[in-house]
Amino acid sequence: MQMYVNYYDRFVKTADEMPTIGIILCKDKKDAMVEITLPKDNKQIFASKYLLY
């Protein structure tokens, strides 16, 4: 995930855009998957479970 976010920030994003974020959508809440996918020192990682209606 971080590789794609970094690529976008360096080669696609324009100077007037906010920093890129990555969103992982999963069928079930898997905190371990989110923890492994994103950088270890990231303080803004949120995992939640959403219900579909």
The single-letter code of the amino acid at 25 is L
* Lookup: tokens for 40: 């270890």
Residue 45, pLDDT > 90, answer no
Give the model's pLDDT for residue 11. 94
Residue 42, pLDDT > 90, answer no
Give the model's pLDDT for residue 2. 76
Give the model's pLDDT for residue 43. 67
Nearest to 24 by CA among 52, 53, 50: 50
Give the model's pLDDT for residue 12. 94
Residue listed under structure tokens 């696609």? 12
Looking at every residue in the chain, the average pLDDT score rounds to 76
| pLDDT tens readout for residues 7-32 | 999 999 999 998 887 777 767 766 66
